Structure 1
Amino acid sequence: MAWTSDQPIISLKDVHKSFGNTEVLRGITMDVRKGEVVCIIGPSGSGKSTLIRCINALNDIQSGSISVEGQEVSDPKLDKLELRKKVGMVFQQYNLFPHKTALQNVMMAPIKVLKQDRKAVEERARALLKKVRLEGKEDSFPGELSGGQQQRVAIARSLAMNPDVMLFDEVTAALDPETVKEVLQTIKTLASEGMTCILVTHEMGFAREIADCVYFTDKGVIVESGPPATFFDQAKDPRTREFLSQIL
């Protein structure tokens, strides 16, 4: 049955994931609707990054179900390339090609993977670099850019594949405080334009401002979730309240 936009764009049901004998996800269930912004917070080692890597099929799951636009991610017949066209991902490390300019980094996948016309790709890549406020940096190499600028190139590179969903894994964790703001502003713009976003983040002020729903994970389970106003000000679970008291 074909997926329709009134159904969740991403659906996780009782997802379990282990590395060896260590169970990292212990029954995660969540739905994300088209255009929704979801922030996942929690202590280190609580399974946040593993969770979003499973959505993109970078990690296989042991049991449960993850579907993207109605397509089962663990289906052996699934073309992972097709999945990753729909689901873009930006990591903590920028993973840019150091010998390619910002523009070339953004253009590579649409040309090599999607086999799109170079002229059309270049036009779009320039527009995307402008969108992430890097106009004038098209010919700069990663080594000539600040961390925040490199991360924005990485976001533009992901957007070049025209994804329906963007996953952000602690994208500001490696940045200097003054460059965090410019990356968060870029994500905020995407969200305001209706891009479905799932963010693993430790930026609580940002989560409060941008999220439709905040999930708190600990020891591989979702402890509590809710809209930011209720979540941050009226958390019910003692573990959530303890976590928030340490970081707010």
Structure 2
Amino acid sequence: MTNAIPKPFIELADVHKSFGTFPVLNGVSLCVRDGGVVCIIGPSGSGKSTILRCINGLTPINQGRIRVGEFQVEKLRTDREFIPLRHQVAMVFQQYNLFPHRTVLQNLTMAPVQVLGEKPAEVTERARSLLAKVRLTGKENAYPGELSGGQQQRVAIARALAMQPRVILFDEVTAALDPEMVSEVLSVIRDLAREGMTCVLVTHEMRFAQEVADEVFFTDRGVIVEHASPATLFKAPSDPRLKDFLDKVL
């Protein structure tokens, strides 16, 4: 008897999303296994970031289905219904979105204490270990404005991890960084991927996508044009739109 293939942890089926009369997603379907690392690439305006925002319910969809674990995302309505989902699905944005008037440690501990009701002492201990994980030990009492962009983005990643999620969505997290800061952020993400964290990344860092991804999805005009392992997608693209895109970015 063969072992059954485990159900994907994230599943999008025929997802459509329009902003007003402008269609952004035109029937997107994709799956991410538990512990998988998926990169979404494509030209600007192709719907990449919208896919991430739909997965965690920040952007409601017009049609289709999105399942994350046991959550049927499109059926969630209230803030109370979204809290358990957001506990499992963290998101790190291009802009760091840290509270400027709070210290680094306070930025990490606020949500677990105030939203999840965890004990402050336990959360603080976890936050300190997460700062060590992202190589920021000693910055606990610094304010975001005292940190470089790369350091702020690593704080944002640690803040996402403080919620103990099953999945982290990364939305072009290196796009606003100076080149020398990109590698320190990618290094943290690389470590998370190796440790088995389920990661979905929208990225322009093609070499990084080739290195860390199990599967790469290429989007254009709101559809998944092609998806494959990095070795296949980057070395032997079949769709002319993907070939043209890779010629420009590689």
The answer to whether TM tops 0.5 is: yes
Give yes or no for contact 2:218–2:242 (8 Å, CA) kept in 1. yes
Residue equivalent to 2:6 = 6
* CA shift for structure 1 position 23: 0.5
Give yes or no for contact 1:38–1:213 (8 Å, CA) kept in 2. yes
* CA shift for structure 1 position 71: 1.9
Amino acid at match of 2:21: N
Give yes or no for contact 2:172–2:201 (8 Å, CA) kept in 1. yes
* CA shift for structure 1 position 115: 1.1
Residue equivalent to 1:129 = 131
Residue equivalent to 1:107 = 109
Matches within 5 A, 1:148-159: 148-159=150-161
Q: TM-score, normalised by structure 1?
A: 0.97
The answer on 1:207 being equivalent to 2:223 is no
Amino acid at match of 1:132: V
Q: Aligned equivalents of 1:229 and 1:39: distance in 2?
A: 13
Q: Aligned equivalents of 2:21 and 2:27: distance in 1?
A: 16
Residue equivalent to 1:119 = 121
The answer on 1:24 being equivalent to 2:24 is yes
Q: Aligned equivalents of 1:84 and 1:196: distance in 2?
A: 14
User: Where in structure 1 are there 5+ consecutive unaligned residues?
Assistant: none
The answer on 1:55 being equivalent to 2:49 is no
Amino acid at match of 2:192: L
**1:152-209 deviations in Å (ceiling 9; x for gaps):** 0000001000000000000000000000000000000000000000000000000000
Amino acid at match of 2:37: V
Give yes or no for contact 2:76–2:82 (8 Å, CA) kept in 1. no
Give the SS at the match of 2:186.
helix
Residue equivalent to 1:162 = 164
% identical equivalent positions: 62
Residue equivalent to 2:141 = 139
Residue equivalent to 1:34 = 34
Give yes or no for contact 2:131–2:137 (8 Å, CA) kept in 1. yes
User: Where in structure 2 are there 5+ consecutive unaligned residues?
Assistant: none
Q: Aligned equivalents of 1:137 and 1:232: distance in 2?
A: 39
**1:116-150 deviations in Å (ceiling 9; x for gaps):** 11111110000000000001111110000000000
Q: Aligned equivalents of 2:226 and 2:184: distance in 1?
A: 29
Q: Aligned equivalents of 2:249 and 2:77: distance in 1?
A: 43
Give yes or no for contact 1:5–1:34 (8 Å, CA) kept in 2. no
| Backbone CA RMSD of aligned residues | 1.2
Residue equivalent to 1:196 = 198
Give the number of equivalent residue pairs: 245
Residue equivalent to 2:219 = 217
* CA shift for structure 1 position 70: 3.2
Amino acid at match of 1:147: G
Q: Which runs of 4+ in 1 moved over 2 A?
A: none
- Which range is displaced more, 19-28 or 74-83? 74-83
Q: Aligned equivalents of 2:77 and 2:202: distance in 1?
A: 29
Q: Aligned equivalents of 2:49 and 2:222: distance in 1?
A: 11
Give the SS at the match of 2:136.
coil
Give the SS at the match of 2:74.
coil
Amino acid at match of 1:187: I
Q: TM-score, normalised by structure 2?
A: 0.96
**1:39-87 deviations in Å (ceiling 9; x for gaps):** 0000000000001100010000000000000321011467111110000
Give yes or no for contact 1:96–1:105 (8 Å, CA) kept in 2. yes
Alignment equivalent of 1:231, drawn from 226, 230, 233: 233
Cα separation, partners in 2 of 1:95 and 1:5, compared to 1, 3 Å: farther
Q: Aligned equivalents of 2:187 and 2:77: distance in 1?
A: 38
Give the SS at the match of 2:75.
coil
Q: Aligned equivalents of 1:24 and 1:127: distance in 2?
A: 40
* CA shift for structure 1 position 6: 2.0
